[in-house]
Structure 1
Amino acid sequence: MVHPLEHLVVRHTHRLPAPEGAVGDGAVAARQFDAALMSVGFKLSAPLHERLAGLSEGAVVDIAVRTLAGVRELVGDHVRHNTYFIDFPANVPDTLDFWMQCIREALADDKTREGTLKQLSTGVVNLLTLPSYGRYPHTYTEMLGHHDELIEAAGDRMTVLHLGRDAQDEVSDLYVQLAGSRTPLGAEHLRDLDALAAHCVDGRQPEQIPVRENRAVINRARLRAGSALMLDTVTDVLRLACVLAEGDVSLVEPTRFVKLSRPVRRALLGGLDAVVAAVPAKLADVTAHREAWKRLGERLHPHEYPQFPYAAQVFAVARGDQRVRSFASRTEELLGQGDLTGAVALLKSAPGVLLRSVDRLARTARTEEEREAVLAGVAEAVPQTAGRVLLSVRQHLLNRGDRLEQAGARRVFINRLGRAWVADDTRPALPGTVKSRLIALLDAEITRRLPVAGPVLVDPDVLDVALPLSGKAVSSGLGVLPRGSVSPVEGELLRFFVYWKQKSEDTDYDLSAVILDEEYEQVTWLSYTQLTDVEGRHSGDITEAPDGASEFIDLRLGAVRGSFVVPQVLLYSGESFMDVEESFFGFMLREGEQQGRPFEPRTVRMKSDLRGPGRVALPLAFQRGEDGQWRAHWLHLYLKGMPAANRVEETRVTVETLLRGIVEREQLTVRWLLGLLGDADVTVWNGEGLPEGPVTYVGLQRPDGLHPESRVLTPENLRDVIPE
């Protein structure tokens, strides 16, 4: 019997749960399955191939059909990628010549001649009114007929699909891993956790669920199953109510609460009552989300449940009928009175808040006594603070100047959804001795928490991958790395692609790329307004996507006249990245003469969903180093942009400033974390020969032949390196 969540295991772990079926001779079908997988850049591991070969042909075919569908979606090959210019990247016309051809065709059309002449008389023509502009002039099948087969190359991506354990064990392990994540999950991972929680609600649970959003999703499954809720703050109840209403569990955006049944209201109020009864001081958390509590009270009707008097106090505080001072207001009062020592003493009761406030506290200190009080408070707080917070503060200090900031210095701000903006840096310097002592305290505590790993085997390509301190703004997909990561780019031709499918209104996304020099100044660009240049070609502008649409940019890296290539996806009109039925971005790498279709799945190195809050997406950038080697810098940014008609030419200044801020910002990486291991047995693996015994392997993907008892850390589960 097929497990309903098998596809989640394949997508998250690149393992196929141990195949089951009638015994037989499935060797031929297994080879055919392997060949089909290789056409999309995947391959069966030797143990998985052997397991499939022992099943009947029918069982192997069934497994192959459902597995292929999942991996094709993972790489973006589940849709048809057409191009406006049928021979792309060959025979792309000059932009002005192409526009003039569209005008000539409009003048030859009886339906559009008069309107086009009228526009020409004004000196301005709207391209969108020309019948041959922005819509595919040929079918997908016709386009395929213009392209030769892809020539196989050694550099083509090959992702190994490994043999997993029993399906239920794999699903349970994946649930525990996501539920117990020490960093926030992205939207898609939260949806997957929701499905897993419903299936695993009565099974094995993680020892801790440190991320509150995860807890809310799991509590919904427990509520539906009639199990006890896991609540220890009043905000846990508010998050659960948001999840029940399909709202924003992070509490950033307001949620429209839904009508709740009496059993659900009773459960929420009962949980709220128990939390406040146990620790009345937790009422202070209500004021942070006062308006949300008021709206929720209208749905819960607490006055109908006199048996929950402590829950009623929550809504009294929200309305202002009962006054409870918040922790933040008490801290601000002490700082306002100049009582830094008193503020530090108060903050010790909230170690995470103290650590997040350490920069301000250190800058506020005026005397040696006050500085020592801050450092003593930090020393007391670090053992009680979550590992993710320790790492976040450590990264902040890594980029914090210990001298007066230069005039004109800028700070880049990025919120939890990936929205980015820039502001002047007006902060005073941190005293050098204070900064160094803070770093020593943090490094000692982080090192203390690292597990005894035994032999560690490391793929050199993962050394500059940034530690995933949050998955919020990192889209899910294939080959996606955390913001700030740097990864090598091997290949002569770099090809970007974007795909989108609208829901209900015409939607026009524009794929563009800007070339910058070493000073982050624009050299040139490729977009629908400049289809060709020395660097490469654009596949043509598509302005609506009822059946889905794709755009491509092909670049010859050796011809790039600059140091940076920055692809962008701009919303020109229609539905946002959050509202379309589907949208994703990615890039391929090819050798010079590989030929092939515009979209070849086995050359795809990265594919990620576009689901951010802005109107301009900046997934990543490419930089040529002093050694001539190109490397990808992962951004995961969204700019607010204009309400409509966004163009790459108009985002230049913002993109240049943001890119400088990200590229020049130092990151906590795998290399940095391994450096804390001291004398541990760490080997940088050259790709040849694997140890016979179990190891901790850290790499971009699990190699075939690794000892089965090895611990494997890849981008899919790299969040597990974050210490508790």
Structure 2
Amino acid sequence: MDINDLVVRRTLRVPVPEGPSGDAAAVVRQFDAVLMSAGFKLSSELFSILSQRDSGFVMDIAVGTLGAVRRMVGDHVEHNVYFRDFPRGVPDTVEFWTECLLEALADPEAAAQVAADARIGTLNLLSLPKYGRYQHDYLEMLDHHERFVEDAADRVTVLRAGGDPSSEAGELYGALAAATIPGNDDDRAALTALAEFCAFDHVQPQDIPIRENRALINRVRVDLGAPLLVDTVTDVLRLACAISDGDVTLASPTRFGGFPRRARRTLLTALNGVVEANPAALGDVNRYAERWKRLGERLHPHEFALPHAADVFAVARGQKSAPSLAARVEDLLTRDDVPGATRLLRNAPGQLFRSADRLLRSANERDLPTVTAEIGAVAGQVSGRVLLSLREHLENREAPGKRRVFINQSARGHIAPDQREPIPGAILTELREILDAELRTRLGDRRWVVAPDVLDIALPISGKAIADGFGTLPRGSRLPIAGNLLRFFVYWREARQTTDFDLSALMLDADFGNPEWLSYTNLTAVGGSHSGDVIEAPEGASEFIDLDLSKVPCDIVIPQVNIFSGEGFGQVAESFFGYMLRTAEQEGAPFEPRTVRMKSGLRGRGRVALPMVFVRTGNEWVALSTHLHLTGEQDGNQVEDNHISTSDLVGSILRRKYLTIRYLAELTGARIGAPDPAGGPVTYVGMEVPQELPDGSTVITPGYLGEIVPA
């Protein structure tokens, strides 16, 4: 992974190493002009710095930076469309199919296949030579489109000046290591690359709140022979997974390979030390007993005189008893001893908070105050994300009889009836006040200033709910849509087998009824058009949907990407989704990078992706981030078949109350608007870095929302 590329994508700063002086003003102007075509621009400071350097030096920086920003918005690939003149010239669906059939009948080989299909009562569109395969190349498609007309409303993202690459990498490494919320796959890949790059000549982080990140950094420490940061047996298991290039989140099992003797001694010594310091840690072994057994087969603990480490594998094999905290709590709850279970959980404050709902439901009226008091007593020992998670949970707990939405680590969601007993309103109010007070204490030592346009962005309780990409926001975030012409797109490139992704749009009314759709089976409908079905992507393929929101006769638009056949989102060489906003007068190619407002990777394990939803509120439209997947079928997924499950899942997300930056602003008494340049240092939360800020201020933009969450 290129470190400079990583810094640009993650920070919107361009690393500027030491280099020869010169006069590169002309080159920098060209660089800036090309950046503008992709929707980016050099800050005045960066423009000035580069202008005083050697031209060749600047050219090297320009090439790398342009590659990085183009990948950010999806402009690094050629976006061809099946219908060359899209969004104009899209035919009626049946007429198009008839045209494909008539052309096939003129080809003896294709006609024979059509006849064979007809004998069994079918017509296989995929067997028709003209269907689903580009009939023109990318340049021919461009020749049929008018020049793109720039507009003042087009996106312009400013790139700022960074320091030398090494210091920029070290700063980003420290920020990712200190993250207070779990990241996604892209975050972990970035942290791994930075940990390796910064292994020898950078200060190593000591405070790593997220266990998964700790495992990745501990892997580098193993190579360096440095002390490990572990205090639970599961920390050691995660480290073993990291060394084996496995899943440090433990969401899926890792196939352990052979470990060198030095690594085996390091892992077993760490394990021995954890258990020696805290024998109760053995209780955590049972949760991953099978994985410990497999790991024991590779570590050969009998070769080392480390008795406490040997106990771990004895517990995993059932040769030694070590009841977990969860098992002891479960035993107390089966005996209706809710106060006892609550007091026991005080030893694990995070687990107490995660068990709060069950404890409150299980408690009788006499015991409820005890549970509430115990939760309040340990609030100061719980991480900020756990506080926020429980606070958001309580915000959605008062309405009984609704359906619950469950979303796993792979972003797959499903709905189930909410059969939980209600919790008294007075208890919910008391707990909310306890949590608000604790969060206010942690957040209130800063002067907060919040821009109005970020108030409805959801707080990032987990980075796993944020897809990697450009302009992506936490699940539940809402941003207004400025303009009527909305175009969303999908791109994919198959790796090993023929793969067909299908872009569709499900349209619903405000009550999630009266479904209509745009898809390859309905190319023109409800104020929009589809760019045409592409059924293979050996060199990459794109599909687009164009909508005039002023003409859409519905209230909810749900883009979805269906895998019709072939490789999954995590198997293809590359895939991403995004949306653009433009005016009808701008013309241009189907894909114009400076109109891209959001682009996110598609890497979930489901076969249907629901990246976001567009919702009409009054006379305005908003974009709601969802980052969801449906399991779907192995083949043949279509919007017509999954619209009911899609409607249910999206409806639950839309009805859910998310903690947003508005909640934070109200909690801290933040100033809404622009900062006062004459005032003291502030923490500013906004979409972009403002031009004027008091010295010593901190800026938090969407890419750094995790910094809001207190440790």
TM-score, with structure 2 as normaliser: 0.98
What's the counterpart of residue 511 of structure 1? Answer: 503
One-letter code aligned to 1:439: R
What's the counterpart of residue 358 of structure 2? Answer: 360
Q: Displacement of 1:4 after TM fit?
A: 5.3
Q: Displacement of 1:592 after TM fit?
A: 1.9
1:615-626 equivalent positions in 2, closer than 5 A: 615-626=607-618
Q: Displacement of 1:522 after TM fit?
A: 3.5
SS for the counterpart of 1:361 is helix
SS for the counterpart of 1:111 is helix
1:377 aligns with 2:370: no
Q: Displacement of 1:504 after TM fit?
A: 0.6
Q: Displacement of 1:134 after TM fit?
A: 1.0
Structure-2 separation of matches of 1:691 and 1:79: 46
What's the counterpart of residue 635 of structure 1? Answer: 626
1:322 aligns with 2:320: yes
Unaligned runs of at least 5 residues, structure 2? none
Q: Displacement of 1:708 after TM fit?
A: 6.4
What's the counterpart of residue 720 of structure 1? Answer: 707
SS for the counterpart of 2:575 is strand
1:219-298 equivalent positions in 2, closer than 5 A: 219-298=218-297
Q: Displacement of 1:713 after TM fit?
A: 0.3
- Compare 31-40 and 228-237 and name the one that shifted more: 228-237
SS for the counterpart of 2:463 is coil
1:444 to 408, 415, 437: 437
Q: Displacement of 1:112 after TM fit?
A: 1.1
- Compare 701-710 and 566-575 and name the one that shifted more: 701-710
What's the counterpart of residue 472 of structure 2? Answer: 480
Structure-1 separation of matches of 2:356 and 2:121: 60
Residues 515-558 of structure 1: CA distance to partner in whole angstroms, max 9, x if unpaired?
11010114410001101113111001111111001000000010
SS for the counterpart of 2:357 is helix
1:568 aligns with 2:560: yes
Residues 587-621 of structure 1: CA distance to partner in whole angstroms, max 9, x if unpaired?
00001211000100000000010001100000000
- Compare 702-711 and 469-478 and name the one that shifted more: 702-711
1:393-404 equivalent positions in 2, closer than 5 A: 393-401=390-398
1:88 to 79, 86, 89: 86
Q: Displacement of 1:114 after TM fit?
A: 1.2
Q: Displacement of 1:232 after TM fit?
A: 0.7
One-letter code aligned to 1:372: P
Change (3 A) 1:707 1:17: farther
SS for the counterpart of 1:411 is strand
Structure-2 separation of matches of 1:194 and 1:231: 18
1:652 aligns with 2:643: yes
What's the counterpart of residue 57 of structure 1? Answer: 55
Residues 440-461 of structure 1: CA distance to partner in whole angstroms, max 9, x if unpaired?
111101111115223x432211
What's the counterpart of residue 683 of structure 2? Answer: 696
Structure-1 separation of matches of 2:372 and 2:53: 64
One-letter code aligned to 1:114: A
2:673 to 680, 684, 692: 684
Q: Is the 8 A contact 2:465 2:474 kept in 1?
A: no
Unaligned runs of at least 5 residues, structure 1? none
What's the counterpart of residue 43 of structure 1? Answer: 41
1:551 aligns with 2:543: yes
Structure-2 separation of matches of 1:585 and 1:194: 25
Structure-1 separation of matches of 2:113 and 2:15: 61
1:410 aligns with 2:399: no
Q: Displacement of 1:191 after TM fit?
A: 0.4
1:11-160 equivalent positions in 2, closer than 5 A: 11-160=9-158
Structure-2 separation of matches of 1:602 and 1:79: 15
Structure-1 separation of matches of 2:306 and 2:352: 34
Structure-2 separation of matches of 1:709 and 1:610: 38
Q: Is the 8 A contact 1:107 1:117 kept in 2?
A: no
Q: Is the 8 A contact 1:160 1:703 kept in 2?
A: no
Q: Is the 8 A contact 2:251 2:409 kept in 1?
A: no
Q: Is the 8 A contact 1:694 1:710 kept in 2?
A: yes
Change (3 A) 1:115 1:582: same
Q: Displacement of 1:154 after TM fit?
A: 1.2
SS for the counterpart of 2:597 is strand
Structure-1 separation of matches of 2:680 and 2:66: 32
One-letter code aligned to 1:293: W
1:671 aligns with 2:662: yes
Q: Displacement of 1:692 after TM fit?
A: 7.8
Q: Is the 8 A contact 2:444 2:668 kept in 1?
A: no
SS for the counterpart of 1:571 is strand
Q: Is the 8 A contact 2:18 2:164 kept in 1?
A: no
Q: Is the 8 A contact 1:26 1:52 kept in 2?
A: yes
Q: Displacement of 1:380 after TM fit?
A: 1.1
Residues 268-293 of structure 1: CA distance to partner in whole angstroms, max 9, x if unpaired?
11111111111111010000000000
Q: Displacement of 1:651 after TM fit?
A: 1.1
Q: Is the 8 A contact 1:623 1:630 kept in 2?
A: yes
Structure-1 separation of matches of 2:452 and 2:106: 60
Structure-2 separation of matches of 1:639 and 1:621: 15
Q: Displacement of 1:340 after TM fit?
A: 1.1
Q: Is the 8 A contact 2:515 2:643 kept in 1?
A: no
One-letter code aligned to 2:32: D
Q: Displacement of 1:707 after TM fit?
A: 5.4
Residues 662-709 of structure 1: CA distance to partner in whole angstroms, max 9, x if unpaired?
11111111110111113x5x13139xx966864322112223454564
Q: Is the 8 A contact 2:450 2:665 kept in 1?
A: no
One-letter code aligned to 2:233: V
Q: Displacement of 1:631 after TM fit?
A: 0.2
Q: Displacement of 1:123 after TM fit?
A: 3.6
Percent of aligned positions that are identical: 51
One-letter code aligned to 2:370: A
Q: Displacement of 1:720 after TM fit?
A: 0.5
Structure-1 separation of matches of 2:490 and 2:522: 17
One-letter code aligned to 1:648: V
TM-score, with structure 1 as normaliser: 0.96
Q: Displacement of 1:58 after TM fit?
A: 1.3
Q: Displacement of 1:356 after TM fit?
A: 1.1
Structure-1 separation of matches of 2:141 and 2:365: 73
Change (3 A) 1:139 1:707: farther
Structure-2 separation of matches of 1:453 and 1:149: 49
Residues 144-198 of structure 1: CA distance to partner in whole angstroms, max 9, x if unpaired?
1001111111110000001123322221111111011110011011000001111
Residues 44-99 of structure 1: CA distance to partner in whole angstroms, max 9, x if unpaired?
00000000111111111111111101100011000010000000000000111111
Structure-2 separation of matches of 1:649 and 1:533: 14
Change (3 A) 1:164 1:693: farther
Q: Is the 8 A contact 1:81 1:550 kept in 2?
A: yes
2:349 to 351, 367, 384: 351
Structure-2 separation of matches of 1:30 and 1:706: 27
Residues 546-590 of structure 1: CA distance to partner in whole angstroms, max 9, x if unpaired?
100100000001011010110000111100001111000000000
SS for the counterpart of 1:499 is strand
One-letter code aligned to 2:327: S
Q: Displacement of 1:204 after TM fit?
A: 2.2
Structure-2 separation of matches of 1:702 and 1:96: 51
Structure-1 separation of matches of 2:531 and 2:677: 44
One-letter code aligned to 2:688: Q
2:421 to 414, 417, 428: 428
What's the counterpart of residue 582 of structure 1? Answer: 574
Q: Displacement of 1:486 after TM fit?
A: 0.5
Q: Is the 8 A contact 1:82 1:549 kept in 2?
A: yes
SS for the counterpart of 1:621 is strand
SS for the counterpart of 2:628 is strand
SS for the counterpart of 1:270 is helix
SS for the counterpart of 1:169 is helix
One-letter code aligned to 1:179: A
Q: Is the 8 A contact 1:197 1:221 kept in 2?
A: yes
One-letter code aligned to 2:554: G
Q: Displacement of 1:710 after TM fit?
A: 2.6
SS for the counterpart of 1:469 is coil
